[in-house]
Structure formats: C-alpha cells, structure tokens
Chain A
Amino acid sequence: MKRIVVDKLIAAFPLYANLKLLALPDGWLGIVNELFCDFRDLQKMMPGHMPLDPDIQMVAVDWRQYQWPSHLLYVRPVVHHRHWTPEMSNRLVQVVSRFNEFAQHTCEVCGDQSVGILKYQDSRRQQALCQTHMDERRWS
C-alpha cells in the first residue's frame, strides 16, 4: 500500500494500523479497512461496555509474507483475558479467518474479486488479479 493510504489508515485506526501495512497489496485497502472496523467493534461486545468508552486495543496484528497467499494475517490478544467472552473469542476467530480467506480472492491491484492467480516468469511474486488486471499484465 502507498504511504499516503497507510497514513490515512493510521489516522483512522491508530490502535491497529502501522507502517507494516506498506508491505500489503494496494487492492487490500477495502478489506483492511473492514478488518480494523471489526477489531474496533469487538470492544462493543465486552460485558459492561458503554457507548462513550474510549477505544482500547483488543488485539495486536502481524502480517507474514509467504509465497502464497502473499500475506497472512496473524493476531494476538492484547486486552486482558478476563475481558474475553466465548462470543467475542469466536468473533475474533471469524474475523481473522474471513480476512485471510477473502484476501486470497481479492485483486491485489484494485480490490475487485479476483479471477485467478498470475504466476510470473521472473522473480516477482504471484498475484491474485481480477479479469481486467489479469489481461493487462498477461500481455505486458
């Protein structure tokens, strides 16, 4: 992701966004944005949560780079375990699984649904791409 985009994410989600996002594909902006909203909403499931409570960090995020999928989201809980309910825990598992699943089917350039994975002949890493960007790259 480009610096200007990452800076906006950091401003919007200071508890979750950081410069590690620079390594992620441009097309992931939408799903990353949704992911951070989901993390923020986890707090609302906490017993005794009040609407005006200040945001607290629920999880810490790490992205690991692989051949495929290109990046995988890992999290660790940060807020003390006494605050976690089974429902919140299950929701966190769901949010992380869904992100890793969606990410593999998201065009790494524009964020549309991907139609396949393009393997390059040179050392570039393979990419999930939508039809438009697949065509564009295949002939370049």
Chain B
Amino acid sequence: MKKDDIHLFRDLYPHWWSETLKSLPAGHVQLLAKLLDQCALIAVDNGDVEPWVMLHFERLEEEHGLFRVYAAPTVDFERWTGGSALALIIAMQFFNERQRLICEVCGLPGGRYCISPDFCRPQKRVTQ
C-alpha cells in the first residue's frame, strides 16, 4: 500500500485501521476501500455515527497468503436488520474472495497476477 493510501485510511477509518494492512498489495487497495465504505454505511443506514462492527485483518498462509477480514458486531443485535447483516456478509466476502480475481499490482480483474506483462509488468511475489 502506498504512503498516501495509508494516511487516507488512517484518517478516514482510525477504528478499523491496522498496521498489518500496510502490506496489502497496491492493486487490492480499492477492495479495502469498498469494504470499509460498506461497513461505514451500515451504521449510517441505521442513523448511527459510531461503527457497528469491529474488524480484524489477517494474512493467512492457508488462504494463499491473501488477506482475510473477520468481524465482530459491536451494537446490540436487536438493532440489526436482516438487510444490514446480509450487507455486512456480502461486503466481507467480496473483499475476501475478490482478491483472487484482482491483479495485486494494477487492480484490474483477470486474476491475482496480471496476464498481460505489457500492461503492468507484474513483479510476481513468491508465496510460501
């Protein structure tokens, strides 16, 4: 992740920011932006300004070294609607699953590593 992005996420979402996200590939930054935006909107939709979930990010070896987001709801579950809960699940799964489909370098669809070397000259990351 670029320095500018780090500052942006830190300012916009201090409650969700985690230092581990610094190593999120540049091409996946948009996925993170969409996830956090969606999570923020869940509170907004329900007329709240405080976040409705806590998020935890972890890079998992068994998931091919991709980031995985976990969530814990923070507000009383009786305030949640089925729609908000489903929106959260879909936002999380899009973030978790789409990393396999989006180029780590240029952020375009077509696989985790771009198929066109002319396009973004992927520096293939060696994953254990």
From B83, B86, B92, give the contact of A76 (CB < 8 A).
B92
Is the CB–CB distance between A77 and B82 below 8 Å? no
Chain A CB within 10 Å — which of B76, B77, B93 has the most? B77
B69 at the interface (CB under 8 A from A): yes
**Bound form: Cα–Cα A75–B96 in Å:** 12
A74/B72 contact (C-beta < 8 A), A64-B56, A90-B80, A94-B80 known: yes
Inter-subunit contact A74/B93 (CB<8 Å): no
Whether a CB of chain B sits under 8 angstroms from the CB of A131 is no
Of B72, B86, B92, the contact of A86 (CB 8 Å cutoff): B86
Q: Does B81 contact A (CB under 8 A)?
A: yes
CA distance A74 to B53 in the complex (A): 10
Interface size of B by CB at 8 A reads: 24
Residue of B nearest to A91 (CB): B85
89-104 of chain A: CB within 8 A of chain B: 89-90, 92-94, 96-98, 100
When A and B form their complex, what is the total count of cross-chain residue pairs whose Cβ atoms lie within 8 Å?
69
> How close is A14's CB to chain B, nearest CB, in angstroms?
16
Known contacts being A62-B70, A81-B90, A97-B73, is A74 close to B85, with CB within 8 Å? no
Once the chains bind, are B92 and A96 in contact (CB under 8 Å)?
no
Contacts of B88 in A (CB 8 A): 89, 93
Instruction: State whether A89 touches B89 (Cβ < 8 A).
Output: yes
Residue of A nearest to B56 (CB): A74
Among A62, A73, A87, A93, the residue within 8 A (CB) of B77 is A93
Interface residues of B in 61-85 (CB under 8 A from A): 68-73, 76-77, 80-83, 85
The answer on a CB contact under 8 Å between A90 and B54 is no
A interface size (C-beta, 8 A): 24
How many angstroms between the C-alpha atoms of A75 and B53 in the bound complex?
11
Question: Could you list 26 examples of A-B contacts with CB < 8 Å?
Answer: A60-B68, A62-B56, A62-B70, A73-B72, A74-B70, A74-B72, A75-B70, A75-B71, A76-B68, A76-B92, A84-B86, A84-B89, A86-B81, A86-B82, A89-B82, A89-B85, A89-B88, A89-B89, A90-B81, A92-B85, A92-B89, A93-B73, A93-B77, A96-B73, A97-B77, A100-B72
Q: Which 7 A-B pairs have the closest CB atoms?
A: A86-B82, A89-B85, A74-B70, A97-B77, A89-B86, A94-B77, A81-B93
Q: Which residues of B contact A (CB under 8 A)?
A: 54, 56, 58, 68-73, 76-77, 80-83, 85-86, 88-90, 92-94, 96
